[in-house]
């Protein structure tokens, strides 16, 4: 498949920051004429938490983006930028559509993850909360940079022991794709089991609440 949705030129040209851990931010990570179509295809998620693709209905343009993100060209660029070999590692995809007040707490990603990529799909972001921060420490105010989750903005970082990040509280629509390249298939199974169980539990609660 010919790459059309990702802005590979911007990805190739981006400069990686090495402190406090390897990361980069691109505000226009997608081809300009593809953003609206992908946003229209983004599945409806009106509750908090993370969802796997198995939980959701997606459109063809969105599916094509996921295919490109899992393709060799994107993997090679990220490998080069972060100093990793992601060529044969499993990839997992998680979607979020709604942020709760409790979300965004400072954390590092699990050790089974090798690299994390976030792509946002929101209209021009004006809220003070909800902007992800790259942090020097566990202190939310000890930040290196702050990323507004505007449509097409991508954040990518290498998962390290000190990859602290989080965002100030925000309640409302906040749409994103999270891509993780993970160490092995065991991590994939654990991820799908955990998020699949969460989605089913939410469905049961909604059924019994009459929602």
Check residues 183 and 125 and name the one with the higher pLDDT. 125
**pLDDT band for position 206 (50/70/90)?**
very low
Q: Which residues pair with 25 in a beta bridge?
A: 155
- Do 66 and 46 meet the contact criterion of CB atoms below 8 Å apart? no
Whole-model pTM: value is 0.88
Q: Is the pLDDT of residue 151 over 60?
A: yes
DSSP H or E stretch at residue 166 = strand 165-166
The pLDDT tens digits for 23-70 are: 999 999 999 999 999 999 999 999 999 999 988 988 999 999 999 999
Determine the Cα–Cα distance for residues 121 and 151; give it in Å rounded to an integer. Answer: 4
- What is the C-alpha to C-alpha distance for residues 52 and 204, in angstroms, rounded to an integer? 17
Convert the pLDDT of each residue in 99-111 to its tens digit.
999 999 999 999 9
Share of the chain above pLDDT 90, in %: 82
Query: Is the predicted pLDDT of residue 135 greater than 70, yes or no?
Result: yes
Domains and CATH numbers, the chain: 8-209 (2.60.120.620)
């Amino acid at each position: 498949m010919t790459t059309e949705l990702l802005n590979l030129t911007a990805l190739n040209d981006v400069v990686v920051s090495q402190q406090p851990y390897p990361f980069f931010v691109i505000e226009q990570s997608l081809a300009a004429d593809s953003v609206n179509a992908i946003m229209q295809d983004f599945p409806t998620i009106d509750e908090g938490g993370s969802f796997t693709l198995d939980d959701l209905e997606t459109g063809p343009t969105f599916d094509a983006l996921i295919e490109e993100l899992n393709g060799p060209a994107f993997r090679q660029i990220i490998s080069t930028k972060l100093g990793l070999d992601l060529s044969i590692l499993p990839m997992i995809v998680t979607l979020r559509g709604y942020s709760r007040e409790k979300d965004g707490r400072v954390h590092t990603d699990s050790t089974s993850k090798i690299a994390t990529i976030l792509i946002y799909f929101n209209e021009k972001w004006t809220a003070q909360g909800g902007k992800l921060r790259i942090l020097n420490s566990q202190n939310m105010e000890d930040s290196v940079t702050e990323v507004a989750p505007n449509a097409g903005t991508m954040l990518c970082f290498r998962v390290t022991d000190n990859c602290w990040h989080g965002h100030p509280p925000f309640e409302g629509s906040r749409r994103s794709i999270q891509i993780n390249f993970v160490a092995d298939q065991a991590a994939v199974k654990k991820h799908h089991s955990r998020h699949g169980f969460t989605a089913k539990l939410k469905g049961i609660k909604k059924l019994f609440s009459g929602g």
